[in-house]
Structure 1
């Protein structure tokens, strides 16, 4: 019989969680610093874009003025008997001054365009850094949540009341983190796109008066920006809670996910339904959907597959699903103890549904994910 020191175990668990919490705080510091810098660069991008638009209009005006001055110079030169030497000299100087001003304006336009492109590239890099830091923070939060749920029973045996309080606090923290993630995603996606649309619309309004062809081109770009913003908004809504899941059920929603993957990755997919398709209890549908969604996400991100097959079998007392791909696979023996946060989440959900999850894979031979969920009480 092995004696377990409950107090020592409790101390180890708490110290480990505290260490991960400190790491998470450091990650958020990096995240916040990157966000501050990204916001500064974003403001610089908007400023330079406005200056670029202004100089474009300035160049257009100078080009018109330069053409008029050259025409005046040609007229004076051809009819020198009608004009004095001072007139000819004035026309020449006026043309030279306008040409010099035009050259300087064109050079300024080139510099502003280059500066705009450099700032946009830097903004893109900073945005990537922020997203990676946010993802890492979410993963650390997932680790904390996973440990909290796995160690909950042990801690409950040690101090039942304290465990309940900690669990409640973690639920609240997880909810706030999810709200923060969604808020950032909306801010960096649709909100930024809308701001850009407003700016492009203002440019179009000004161009309509001077350059209709360029205005039409800008309107084409503006239409594409609206499409992108709409697509990002729909993606956020779908990730939060697919409306098709409530309206149509599990199978149509899985088909929608596969259609989206095909659009992004050109992967062939097939859904096969066995038995009689039916609506399930809401908590079973959403749980099973999230497990299949995570399996499909892993295929898209890591498997480099050409084909995905999904089979869902409806039976009176159980529903099962198989997600199979022909990707590069992995060694399931070596991966023991090194599962991704996505796989951990899948196992956590299947435990809540009192089901079974089996993953079979070989290097170079694809992967199969088997899920079984009971329908009875």
Structure 2
């Protein structure tokens, strides 16, 4: 019976951890979606100005082209009155104006198409954020249910097999939800790739029409978009679950993660002390996410010039400290707490640990201290 109770406790812990991870990912999706929404809004404003400018340019070119064709017609009717050079000059001018008009109208069409795509994407993101916020509320209810009322459910479900089946169904439902959210996240890169295809077509048409300078500039823009798309895909895949965490363990995964941030922030130092034992999977996942969130907060919000990550793993506990020399956390943010900080507190509480965030009011940095007790049975030899 004791063995059965231990198994049931483990299943409950796994369910709570799975639900909590889902909540964290929903928070991340909502925050990333809001950032994408703001970026697209800015791009849309610029596009609208560009469309108006191109339309005005096209109207002017159309008037000039009409006048040029009219002049060419008059010259053609009185061909003998004009020299050959004069006729050639009028013809070349009409041809150049017509070519510029076609290129301008094509550019206008492409800009209008991109504008419509962004407006549609903004509506989709708005709906996604609304669904994410609704999902956060539902997950919070599930967490409260698991943390506060699960004992009553356990008394009602007397059979151990029924308890196990009940727990596995909850885990399966959460995994399906995470898969759905992952598919939605791919809409971002998919949209970027569609835009790359559109811009490459513009390059092709522009080059064929002889406007080499415009074609070269469009090619530069396409390269930037390809680089951004590749970075976004890699970031999404890595954030979902670092594969190195299962294969190599916590410390190598942190090293690899920090190395991926060298372009974004080159001054991140990592110091560690550890026994020759691996922690249980849910400890390693939780610690990695906590350290990842702390580093991202220091980079994005604190604007830190130097970040120091220290990790001490012993048989009894794990102590992680993330210190930066940034501008600190504002008092309003400490009071209300951001999604990320809330998630960190809840993750540490589930593991029975302690989280302290000390930030100087003078803007001289922030220190995040995480202490998590480790049971001896939850470590395995490397």
Q: Which has the larger radius of gyration?
A: 1
Change (3 A) 1:269 1:341: same
Whether 1:358 and 2:359 are equivalent positions in the alignment is no
- Give per-residue Cα distances to partners, 1:322-350, cap 9 Å, x unaligned: 12334423669x84xx6555445445544
Q: How does 1:79-158 map to 2 (within 5 A)?
A: 79-80=80-81, 112=109, 115=112, 119=116, 122=119, 125-126=122-123, 129-130=126-127, 132-156=129-153
Alignment of 1:211-222 (within 5 A): 211=210, 212-222=212-222
The equivalent residue for 1:191 is 190
Instruction: State the partner residue of 1:312.
Output: 311
Give the CA RMSD over aligned residues: 5.0
- The equivalences for 1:232-271 within 5 A come to 232-260=232-260, 263-264=263-264, 266=265, 268-271=267-270
Q: SS at the partner of 1:205?
A: helix
Which structure has more relative contact order (CA 8 Å, sep 6+)? It is: 2
SS at match of 2:273: strand
> Counterpart in 2 of 1:291?
290
What is the deviation of 1:312? 0.8
Query: Equivalent residue for 1:374?
Result: 374
Q: Any stretches of 5+ residues in structure 2 without a counterpart?
A: 1-29, 378-382
Q: In structure 1, what is the Cα distance between the partners aligned to 2:166 and 2:136?
A: 19
Q: TM-score w.r.t. structure 1 length? A: 0.62
Does the CA contact (< 8 Å) of 2:319 and 2:371 recur in 1? Answer: yes
Structure 2 CA distance for aligned equivalents of residues 138 and 216 of structure 1: 46
Distance 1:300 1:133, change over 3 A: farther
Aligned residues: 314
CA offset digits 1:198-250 (Å, max 9, x no partner): 22333333334322443333332222222222111111110111133234432
**Distance in 2 separating the partners of 1:204 and 1:109:** 11
Q: CA contact under 8 A between 2:103 and 2:206: conserved in structure 1?
A: no
Q: Is the 8 A contact 1:310 1:323 kept in 2?
A: yes
| Cα deviation code 1:299-328 (max 9, x no counterpart) | 445445443221011334543211233442
Alignment match, 1:205 = 204
SS in 1 for 2:130: helix
